[in-house]
Amino acid sequence: MMSFLLGIILGSFLLSLPISSASGKPVPYVDALFTATTSVCVTGLVTLPTVTTWSIFGQIVMLILIQIGGLGIITIMSAIMIGMNRRLGLKNRVLIQDAFNLNSMSGIVIFLKRVIFGTFLVEIVGALLYMTVFIPQYGVRGIWISVFNSISAFCNAGIDIMSENSLCDYATNPMVNLTTSLLIILGGIGYIVWWDVIRVTKGFRSQKLKCFNRLTLQSKIALAATGILLLAGAVLFFIFEYNNPLTIKNLSLFDKMQVALFQSVTTRTAGFASVPQQDLTNASSVVSLMLMFIGGSPVGTAGGVKTVTFVVVMLAALTAIKNEEEVSLFSRRISKQAISKAVAVITVSFMIMFISTVLLSAVTDAGILDIAYETVSATATVGLTRNLTPNLNIWGKIIIIITMYLGRVGPISLLIAFNIKKEKRNIITDPIEEISIG
């Protein structure tokens, strides 16, 4: 929590300098603080247009903050130590384990090296693909735009430096849509899934078992949930927006399909928009709220409560409805500790979102759907807005800044940080008394 806070403070100081502004005049500090927070928290909500407000220096600062926020400051510092051939102590290993929410410290240095290498490899490939579109259009500046967009997309930040309407100008460009979508999915699927899939595919020829069956339970849930949510979201957006003249009504069938799919992908906490979010139908907006709240998968760059968390809670509820004892999936039982942790994550995230919604409603006269969109987007570090962010007053900006920060550090970090150790109990446990539920 402190590492992200220090990153935000340092970033806000640099962005408040005149050299960071395109006009040469310093921006108001609250906007510099907001931009630093949205960069470090890889959210994507901005109060000022990125392309016209910030100089090259300011954009570089933002990009560094986005990269640090996507990987985590602890990860970056540990990688530097490894690069300097310094041994990671137990404290650093514990911090890395906590940062990536790993269950074990075994092989943590190898895991960290893979994360750094894999991240930069994917970002470089993404930048090269973007260049095929942006260099012909912007010339040499297209190189910088491609690099910025690639890192922003992989880190699920959703900030671009091309225009004030995000990717709306490229809504029907297959290369931009495909590249952005792949970067978002790869960043949000989780590093653990990466290595698990690579492990399985390497041994596929020597072992006749199906690849999916050889994956770990974590990877199975993450991949299955991601696929189902992406497909379901795309189908629902296609149906709800099909006759909406403000979004996809006048597009060809193929373009309608790719816009619907991109909307489903970007709600996984990426924040890029190929259609103005305020033009969506109410039904599509509600679907977006749900997808944003769920977010991506654990141990990745995405936000939200995470796919695995959502699936575990749904399974626990289904198990209770069926009056069964054990929660299981894919012929594997899920521990009660994992279930309790999943319930805690969703509960704390919902509390942050609810309190933020109430407070923002008190300081602005915007519609409740616009406010809910803003607070869910901030809590899940998504970055999509129904054009409310640029119109926030100072109190609204402060509320969203705090919400983005709490959403990025995560419910588990909050619970651990503010947990008060209980006194040792006697061996005799408290008696059980039945209560009515539901």
Range scoring the smallest mean pLDDT among 1-15, 173-187, 217-231, 416-430: 416-430
Q: Is residue 34 part of a domain?
A: yes
Integer Cα distance of 369 and 384 in angstroms: 13
Given a cut of 60, is residue 237 above it in pLDDT? yes
Per-residue confidence at 431, pLDDT binned at 50, 70, 90? Answer: confident
Residue 427 confidence (pLDDT): 64
Residue type, 292: M
- Average pLDDT in the 211-227 region? 88
Q: Pick from 102, 33, 39, 113: which is nearest to 69 by CA? A: 39
Integer Cα distance of 17 and 258 in angstroms: 41
The DSSP line for 341-394 is HHHHHHHHHHHHHHHHHHHHHHH----HHHHHHHHHHHHTT----SS-GGG--H
Q: Is residue 422 part of a domain?
A: no
Please list, in sequence order, all residues whose beta carbon lies within 8 angstroms of the beta carbon of residue 44, skipping any fewer than 6 positions away. Answer: 38, 152, 157, 158, 159, 270, 271, 272, 381, 382, 383, 384
Q: Is residue 425 part of a domain?
A: no
Integer Cα distance of 320 and 327 in angstroms: 9
Specify the number of domains making up the chain. 1
Residue 299 confidence (pLDDT): 79
Q: Is residue 169 part of a domain?
A: yes
pLDDT tens profile 378-427: 999 998 999 999 999 999 999 999 999 998 887 666 666 666 555 555 56
Per-residue confidence at 164, pLDDT binned at 50, 70, 90? Answer: confident
C-alpha torsion angle, residues 257, 260, 265, 266 (rounded to 10): 140
Q: Is residue 437 part of a domain?
A: no
Q: Is residue 230 part of a domain?
A: yes
Q: Is residue 430 part of a domain?
A: no
Enclosing domain of residue 51: 2-414
The mean pLDDT value of the chain amounts to 87
Q: Is residue 438 part of a domain?
A: no
